[in-house]
Amino acid sequence: MDTNTTSNEYVRGTLKTIVLNLLAEEKRMYGYEITQEVKERTGGAIALTFGALYPVLHKLEQEGLLVTESVEVDGRLRKYYSLTTPGNEAARVKTDDLERFVDAIRLLLAPKSLATE
Alpha-carbon distances of 51 from 35, 44, 80, 82, 94, rounded to whole Å: 11, 18, 17, 20, 22
pLDDT at 4: 46
- CATH number for the region 8-115 comes to 1.10.10.10
pLDDT at 85: 95
pLDDT at 113: 65
Under 8 Å between Cβ of 48 and 35: yes
Tens of pLDDT, residues 28-71: 999 999 999 999 998 888 888 888 899 999 999 999 999 999 99
pTM as predicted: 0.79
DSSP result, 52-75: HHHHHHHHHHHTTSEEEEEEEETT
